Amino acid sequence: MRTQVMGIDPGDTTGLALYSPEAHVLVEVTSGTFWAMAERVRREWTQGRLALVVIEDTRALPIYERHNNKKLDRPRRDRLCRNVGRIDRDCALWAALCEETGIPYRLVKPIKGGKWSADTLRGVTGFSGRTNQHGRDAARLVWGVKPRLDEKPLLSEEA
């Protein structure tokens, strides 16, 4: 039965969180390479557990908003632009993976309000497993999300 919601925080290290809306618990919070996490999405889908994927999409944000409008020297600015380009491409690849496999998904803007520490994650969700920032970012995307029966791919402000 497709009941779980998966959060994806794209990047060099991809964060992944699996949330059960029925039980209101985080089932798993982890991270890994794009390819390992893509395989995980496919496996959860083919095993019939996955109802929705929520993907953080930073493509609509201007670069200066992503990096607090810091003035950077040319080498740092160039590296920043390359990194932003990679993240943008990852977002597009995640959406394409979901499209190709027929998985319902939502593209959401990053959540404002700062990062969650491990203590904050534990306090808010009760999840006490070992995590890193990438997994916690994915967990923030899906905590409290309920898939709709008619879920279609969409771009929304919030999950």
Nearest residue to 8 via CA among 46, 51, 37: 37
pLDDT band of residue 7 (cuts 50, 70, 90) is very high
| CA dist list (Å): 34 to 8, 15, 78, 97, 113 | 10, 9, 23, 11, 26
- Given a cut of 60, whether residue 22 has pLDDT beyond it is yes
Q: What is the mean pLDDT of residues 104-130?
A: 93
Mean of per-residue pLDDT scores for the chain: 84
Q: What is the mean pLDDT of residues 52-81?
A: 67
φ/ψ (deg, to 5) at 56: -70, 130
- Given a cut of 90, whether residue 56 has pLDDT beyond it is yes
* Among 18-27, 77-86, 106-115, the least confident range: 77-86
Number of other CB atoms surrounding residue 25 within 10 Å: 13
- Given a cut of 70, whether residue 84 has pLDDT beyond it is no
- Map tokens 């916690």 to a residue: 136
* C-alpha to C-alpha distance for 134 and 12, rounded to whole angstroms: 10
Q: Which three-class secondary structure string do you get for 90-135?
A: HHHHHHHHHHHHCCCEEEECCCCCCCCCHHHHHHHHCCCCCCCHHH
- Given a cut of 50, whether residue 159 has pLDDT beyond it is no
Cα dihedral sign, 68-130-11-139: negative
Q: What is the mean pLDDT of residues 91-102?
A: 94
pLDDT at site 157? 41
105-108, strands of its sheet edge to edge? 25-32, 14-20, 4-9, 50-56, 105-108, 154-156
pLDDT band of residue 151 (cuts 50, 70, 90) is low
Look up the pTM and report it. 0.81
- Given a cut of 70, whether residue 66 has pLDDT beyond it is no
